[in-house]
Structure 1
């Protein structure tokens, strides 16, 4: 073996070693955050306008901890859907297929999945999801949003029988009971039909005294 061949072989070994180190670092960047325990629960608020009263419900087969929100007064179609807490949008698009249910055709064909939806990362491995929006979300992936910022409007896209907001809170990889304004909603398992009525405290921040 010539000197040049030995040098090329040593160079190749060094490059392979460096590539292995880089691959391990890349894996660590992805895996290590997933191994950390979730942080404290953010101060989530109802994802609807300040002062409005909504019925939160579940039913058998709906999936544990999922909730559907319906206004107790007025039309559901087009009502603003707001961020429950500050965070970064990770998904804003279509889940499944849209179907054809609209305000002008409320009995149109159902779609599949969540229709137009938004997912927000709130830090500390906490996440919220907002499904069945009427139209494409008003936010985009990577966008930073504040609590109370509008994400979209209530609709019936995806696998939805009537206009409503399907909402979830996740801790780490687990879906958990929703909390609003510091209190548990009480909607846990979907073995029976169950609902509660709550009033939103997702209100604009009070201006600071000057």
Structure 2
């Protein structure tokens, strides 16, 4: 008498189901690990504040200021000697360039046409990641930045020149320090700038200690 005859379909179906479940499980593990790589660093608290320096040449005295409608913690810098156009903009601290390009539109304000049309946003700009969730931003540069995305820069290294690109009324450097997602009061050489809000016009003078060391 013949025994039961099987075609093998059931065995293959069970094998496929097991393989599918295994692949789904592996995919879930990979997804969780990928999310952990992204999310865990975001949950870590910021590191200690770097010893940021003024983003201008060593020994120079500049005016730092804000005005109503400017934005809390935003700092505008103007030199007290010589024309603002083309002044060197330096990295406040060492780090990695994460943005080097155009924010908004450039407009048409140049040294030869200082009253040209305004652009939008920050114009030519640079953003530097200093580690520990600390960043600095430099806006309204005269021309394309002197650095590129991914480049490592040292404290005091030139990253651009002062201009009036973007939504700018006069040549100056718009500067920000950020901790995580938030702008914070800019500190220079370990001291707070005093520029915390834009309720009223406020100015202060500071001398740069952004001096290269051997």
Which bracket does the TM-score occupy, shorter chain normalised? over 0.9
Question: What residue is the counterpart of 2:42 in the other structure?
Answer: 34
Residue 46 (structure 1) aligns with: 54
2:105 and 2:30 map into 1 onto residues whose CA distance is 39
Deviation at 1:5, TM superposition (A): 2.0
Which residue of 2 is the match for residue 164 of structure 1?
Answer: 172
1:181 lines up with 2:182 in the alignment: no
Equivalent of residue 145 in structure 1, options 142, 146, 153: 153
Q: What do residues 21-68 of structure 1 show as CA deviations (whole Å, max 9, x unaligned)?
A: 111111111111111111111000000011111000000000000000
2:202 is the alignment partner of 1:194 = yes
* Matching residue of 1:135: 143
Stretch of structure 1 that moved more, 20-29 or 112-121: 20-29
For 1:134 and 1:18, the matched residues in 2 are separated by 51
Q: How many residues align?
A: 206
Q: Which among 54, 60, 67 is matched to residue 68 of structure 2?
A: 60
Looking at structure 2, the residues matched to 148 and 193 of structure 1 have their Cα atoms a distance apart, in angstroms, of 29
**Structure-2 residue corresponding to 1:102:** 110
Q: Which residue of 1 aligns with 2:124?
A: 116
What CA distance in whole angstroms lies between the structure 2 residues aligned with 1:112 and 1:30?
32
CA shift for structure 1 position 141 = 1.0
In 2, Cα distance between equivalents of 1:143 and 1:22: 31
Look up the SS of the partner of 1:5 in the other structure: helix
Cα distance in 1 for residues equivalent to 2:55 and 2:171: 15
Post-superposition offset of 1:148: 0.4
The alignment partner of 1:9 has SS state of helix
Compute the displacement of 1:154 (Å).
Answer: 0.5
Give TM-score, length-normalised by structure 1: 0.96
- 1:20 counterpart = 2:28: yes
**In the alignment, what sits opposite 1:79?**
87
Bigger Rg, which one: 2
RMSD of the TM alignment (CA)? 0.9
Residue 93 (1) aligns with residue 101 (2): yes
**C-alpha separation between the residues in 1 aligned to 2:58 and 2:127?**
21
In 2, Cα distance between the equivalents of 1:131 and 1:46?
14
Secondary structure of the 1:2 match is helix
